[in-house]
Amino acid sequence: MAFWITSRIFQENLTNTVGVIVLVCVKSTSVLHADLDAEIRQLPYAEGAGFDPERGCLPGTRTNFLNAISSWVNDPESSQVLLLFGQAGTGKSSIAHEMAHRFKAVNRLTTFFSFEHGKSPYLFFTTLTRDLCDRYPAFKKVLKNAIKNNTSVLNARAYSNLFHCLLRDPLKKLHFIGPIFIIIDALDESGDFHLQSFLATRLSELPSNFRI
């Protein structure tokens, strides 16, 4: 009915109605983008899961090890995923926080996510999505298009849905210059072996310049 009424008015007063039609279209598009922005902001964000600038390695310690990690991040031919293994208390988290501090200082850290203090595992996916939106406007634009007809994903909790719809599929449409550096700390403390297995098998589906 709305389109029929608009067409009839257009026939009666061409000049005035053109202005009205354009105004309505622009307003509708703006409202749609505002709604999608609001939807993205409602994605759960893991407060307190970021890195602590007070934690890290003592000055002058582990320099060779830290430099090797930096080289891995910057090498376009390196593998996407680097795992740190070690007994509890051997300093894995200190290294993670130190690397986060160094790359944050030069504005090259995308996300730091720590599973300490019982963070819900699904929050990793939604937090990374929001961080990518904040850092890369092009990703946010592509994500809006992806969720426009699939807003139910914003309330999803299944890892596969979150990974595919919020991360993998939108990222396929983009090309990034330079490494996208993501740090996951204390993954074993998530207590979710399904998440650990999922990440181990699916992270390779992200763009080749992601370093995790």
What are the strands of the beta sheet with 109-114, ordered from one edge?
Answer: 109-114, 180-185, 210-211
Within-domain flag for 3: no
Asked whether 155 and 83 are in contact (CB, 8 A), the reply is: no
Within-domain flag for 24: no
Range of 57's domain?
A: 42-211
pLDDT tens-digit profile of 98-155? Answer: 999 999 999 999 999 999 877 899 999 999 999 999 999 999 999 998 888 788 888 8
Total structural domains within the chain: 1
The CATH number of residue 56's host domain is 3.40.50
Q: For the chain, how big is the Rg over CA atoms in Å?
A: 22
Q: In the structure encoding, which two tokens stand for residue 182, read together? A: 């993501």
Within-domain flag for 94: yes
More confident site: 144 or 37: 144
Within-domain flag for 188: yes
Q: Output the CA–CA distances (angstroms, integers) from residue 195 to 82, 140, 188, 200, in the order listed.
A: 17, 25, 10, 8
Within-domain flag for 21: no
